[in-house]
Amino acid sequence: MSVFFGTDGLRGIVGQDLNFDVAFKCGNSLSQTQKKAKVLLGRDTRTTGTYLSCAIASGLMAGGANVVDAGIIPTPAVSYLTKAEGFDYGIVITASHNPMEYNGIKIFSRKGEKLEDAEEEKIERGFIKCVQVPAAEVGTLKVDNTLKNKYMDFLVGTASCSLEGLKIVLDCSNGASYFLAPKIFRRLGAEVIKTSCRCDGAKINHGCGSLHPERLCEKVKSEKADVGLGFDGDADRLIAVDENGNIVDGDKIIVALARALKSRGELNKNLVVGTSMTNMGIEAELAKENIKLLRADVGDKYVASLMFSQGLSLGGEQSGHIILSKFLHTGDGILSAIQLLCLLKESKKPLSEFASVFIYPQVIKNVVVKEKLRILGSETLANAISSVQQELAGEGRVLVRASGTEPKIRIMVESESQKKSLSLASYLESIISTLENSEGSPCAE
């Protein structure tokens, strides 16, 4: 089991869980996996991005790897460019949707896919001993700002139609897509209104973007726009807003895309991959279209892994990670938005109708804890979860899991009754809080 890597790379608060030494060791360990590796490096807008980029690049070069720095660029751009430009690895310095004090390291293989758990564990084992090659073999660092243009050309080329006539509001979360996204959608013909589209790492994800779409909802209504598009800090997530200012989350986007792809004969095996968090209403809605939902563990790399093992074309998460394997091997918020808008325009329907889905009321609570594993292994919590499952009696679901990126335990309860879901989620929250405040000894319960 990985110590540093979670469900989406290595992540932590800079200066505490993640510092120069950890980033250096990560780069150096990666350099040991292949002689003279060619590595692409990118980052989001966080103020700590250059600090950690220098650290990981130094570790790579000390081990003999050659590094190309693409600067501020979305995570999926690194995935695409790593494969398209023949790099051995792609690395992104980002903490995705997390607050600005966090940062992280995501690593892609030469195929543009996130590393498997076993590969991440191998890299961690390399932290033990750093390698310094002779001076004549030290790697190089080059900056290439033209790579962004190749990624933009790729995305524009995926559009099946012009977006002329559509008025859209873009919320780029003051993150990696702040410059690229507006330019791409204008090239496709859309009228673009920007919000939170600044290169401001101090305010990345702060009250904006896919995690906080409230401002986007109001902007869509006040501007009388056709649609709103919200990305997270590294632009691998998409949350949409319809013309009435209502949120269209990843689950609903997946249903809309699945319907359209099936009608075109492009939905492989009539299967879609979701996760354990995917709403029961989504499963029921897909079943009406004779589409079956497969569930993977939470984390887009697990969704991708199941998709590719089954040869499937569509999968994703409620949070807005959506994978369209025809184009890319990882979630891409801008790509998902382009495909959604093209299908929307071709349907000649408003988004509120195009993505109409019945969703079971779902309550999600996040409880900050210091010892996730101790609490999740508690008999007290296990008994509480069992009692909630009995209360739902097959008419709903409960899921309690550790966050893969933050010191939190996540609670999800869904049923046909919002009141019941809230009550049961609050009950589990109180149990976890009590356990968190108890001593960490075996006799604490």
Residues labelled catalytic: 96
Listed in sequence order, the DSSP H helices in 38-106 are 49-62, 75-84
Give CA angle at 124 (69, 315), nearest 5°: 70
Give CA angle at 186 (180, 191), nearest 5°: 125
Buried b (16+ CB within 10 A) or exposed e, 336-352: bbbbbbbbbbeeeeebe
The DSSP symbol for 368 reads E
Residues 30, 39 contacting (CB under 8 angstroms)? yes
Q: How far is CA 309 from the centre of its chain?
A: 20
State how far the Cα of 223 lies from the Cα of 242, in Å rounded to an integer: 12
Q: At what angle do helices 49-62 and 20-31 cross, to 10 degrees?
A: 40
State how far the Cα of 267 lies from the Cα of 343, in Å rounded to an integer: 14
The dihedral formed by the CA atoms of 341, 346, 348 and 351, expressed in degrees to the nearest 10 = -20
What does the DSSP assignment read for 133-181?
A: --GGG---EEE-TTHHHHHHHHHHHT-SS--TT-EEEEE-TTSTTTTHH
State how far the Cα of 60 lies from the Cα of 121, in Å rounded to an integer: 18
Sign of CA dihedral 343, 345, 346, 352: positive
In sequence order, the 6+-apart residues with CB closer than 8 A to the CB of 179 are 72, 197, 199
Nearest to 201 by CA among 5, 14, 17, 41: 14
